[in-house]
Amino acid sequence: MDFNTFFNAIESKMSFEMVMKRLTQFIETDPKRHYVLSIGTDSHVHKNETRFVTAIHLHRVGKGAWGCLHSHIIPRAIQNVREKISYETMLSQEVAYLFVSERLGELIELLVPYKRDGADFTFQIHLDIGRKGATKEFIHEMTAKIAAMGIEPIIKPEAYAAFSYANRYTK
């Protein structure tokens, strides 16, 4: 999949390199903070398509956030919940892989000199599943996929990157 078209309320058509630049700039403005980088995907079934939106959300804990999104459309209405949740999870994993190779280390390195001042970094994948509703039966399966990557899986109600940020752009 082509993950070179990210957007947010201010910018469109950002490459992943531009996303990295924005994340770096955001951290550099206040490197003594705890940062949580979250990847999460949500989807919405329309009449003839299913729209998936994957969010990259960098939270400066207690003091703002920067984020962007990537939209992916499947030209059919996906009615099977397992298929839809599996696809959401896979898209989040693919975006997370963009960071895992070396990019995550670049972001963490920005904070190393400020570790004693409270700087910290957490990397998570937010899944649009929870203990209530039709998705509860997929919790173990999907969280195991994320944990196998060495990334912390987060589910509802804490999975804000998926069910809140990405969700706003699926309609």
What digits encode the pLDDT tens for the residues 8-61? 999 999 999 999 999 999 999 999 999 999 999 999 999 999 999 999 999 999
Note the pLDDT tens digit of each residue in 58-73.
Answer: 999 999 999 999 999 9
Check pLDDT > 80 for residue 4: no
Q: How far is CA 95 from CA 6, 38, 119, 141, in A?
A: 11, 10, 24, 19
- Per-residue confidence (pLDDT) for residue 5, from 0 to 100: 92
End-to-end, the C-alpha distance of the chain in Å comes to 21
- Per-residue confidence (pLDDT) for residue 72, from 0 to 100: 96
Dist. CA 81–CA 109, nearest whole Å = 39
Domain boundaries, the chain: 16-168
Q: Are 120 and 151 in contact (CB under 8 A)?
A: no
- Per-residue confidence (pLDDT) for residue 171, from 0 to 100: 86
- Per-residue confidence (pLDDT) for residue 118, from 0 to 100: 95
Q: In which band, very low, low, confident or very high, does the pLDDT at 1 lie, cut at 50, 70 and 90?
A: low
> Model pTM?
0.95
Neighbouring residues of 165: CB distance < 8 A, sequence distance ≥ 6: 40, 55, 57, 67, 69
Note the pLDDT tens digit of each residue in 103-154.
Answer: 999 999 999 999 999 999 999 999 999 999 999 999 999 999 999 999 999 9
Cα 151 off chain centre by:
12
